[in-house]
Amino acid sequence: MVSSSFRWLLDLIFPPRCPICQTIVSASENGRIICSACKKDIKPIQSPYCPRCGLPYYPSEEDGGEEKSHLCGSCLQEQRYFEIHRTCALYEGALKEAIHRFKYGGVFSLVRIFGDLLQSTLTTLTQDYSVDVMVPVPLHIRRLRERGFNQALLLAKELNTRTGIPYAERALKKVKDTPVQITLKKKERKKNLKGAFQVKDHETIQGKTVVLMDDVYTTGATVNECSRILLEAGADRVAVLTVARAL
């Protein structure tokens, strides 16, 4: 147990810094995970939004500032294999920086921040959606060796610690080494992902309600393909949970 006096000395020599922006945290903020400025910069996604993919709507003054949740154009036009996608906040500002530092900089202390956000969103999801198992979106072995970890798996483990919901680490495997999705257009992404995933652990997902875990939802192509494969392998239902959603 670290004494308060020793903790004070440590903070004096090594002042605590926000893991996102690296600014020194003030005495009044000490004990928080992130600074108040970064916390304020994270923009939660709230209703109204598309009930399927979670795309947020921003009612204009011309509409009287009111708009009800409804399916977006993409969900009306394209087949979605997952039933619902829920996310925590917009993929911008402090949260985007945090995810980049986590994925590409290995700042693992940020998992706690994501865990706080995800736990709240998962609680909302499970009010109407019973969850049996979490399945992280897998990385191809080459990408896994380069990065050293799968960010989706770390998020699933964090939520397992907090909620007790089991996760199936090896249920899905990425068997095709695809180009980075962010550089591709929507149609190219779909073609790129064909045959990329396989179910390797059928028993853990058969007849189960699965929550597919990932860090960022962009076009939804990856989680949609994973959802299709899971359903074909016997999963009963698939929902998607992410930290952030790109617009």
- Give the model's pLDDT for residue 58: 82
Domain that holds residue 52: 42-245
pLDDT value of position 178: 86
Mean pLDDT to the nearest integer, 192-206: 94
Residue 17 confidence (pLDDT): 83
What is the mean pLDDT of the segment spanning 65-78?
Answer: 86
106 plus 211 within the same structural domain = yes
- Looking at the fold, whether 31 and 95 belong to one and the same domain comes out as no
More confident residue, 166 or 34: 166
Counting every residue written for the chain, the total comes to 247
CA distance 153 to 215: 10
Peptide bond before 138: cis, by omega within 30 degrees of 0?
no
Task: Please report the pLDDT score of residue 8 as a whole number.
Answer: 47
pLDDT of 182 higher than 70: no
Clarify whether residues 155 and 240 are in a common domain: yes
Co-location of 217 and 153 in the same domain:
yes
Shared domain for 98 and 67, answered yes or no, is yes
pLDDT at position 74 is 93
pLDDT, mean over the chain: 88
* Strand pairing class (172-174; 197-199): antiparallel
89 vs 67, higher pLDDT: 89
Give the per-residue pLDDT at 43: 95
Mean pLDDT of 183-208: 86
**Predicted confidence band of residue 34 (pLDDT cuts 50, 70, 90):** confident
How many folded domains does the chain comprise?
Answer: 2
Check pLDDT > 90 for residue 50: yes
The string of pLDDT tens digits covering residues 122-177 is: 998 888 788 999 999 999 999 999 999 999 999 999 999 999 999 999 999 999 99
Q: Residue 113 belongs to a domain with what CATH number?
A: 3.40.50.2020
- Judged against a pLDDT cut of 70, whether residue 66 lies above it is answered with no
Entry pTM: 0.88
In a domain? residue 235: yes
Residue 193 and residue 103 share a domain: yes
With a cut of 50, say whether residue 2 has pLDDT above it: no
Spatial contact of 205 and 168, defined as CB atoms under 8 Å apart: yes
Beta-bridge partners for 237: 209
Same structural domain for residues 113 and 228? yes
Q: How confident is the model at residue 222 (pLDDT cuts 50, 70, 90)?
A: very high
Exposed (0-12), middle (13-18) or buried (19+): which is 183, by Cβ within 10 Å?
exposed
pLDDT score of 179: 75
Determine what percent of the chain is predicted with pLDDT higher than 90: 69
pLDDT band of 16, cuts 50, 70, 90:
confident
Q: List alpha helices for 106-241, DSSP H.
A: 110-126, 141-147, 151-163, 186-193, 221-232
Mapping DSSP to helix (H, G, I), strand (E, B) and coil, where does residue 159 land? helix
60 lies in a domain?
yes
Q: Are residues 32 and 126 in the same domain?
A: no
pLDDT on residue 1: 45
Q: What are phi and psi of 200, to 5 degrees?
A: -110, -15
Q: In this predicted structure, which of 15-19, 173-177, 184-188 has the lowest mean pLDDT?
A: 184-188
**Residue 51: inside a domain:** yes
Residues 151 and 209 in one domain: yes
Same-domain check for residues 152 and 119: yes
How far apart CA 84 and CA 53 sit, in angstroms, is 6
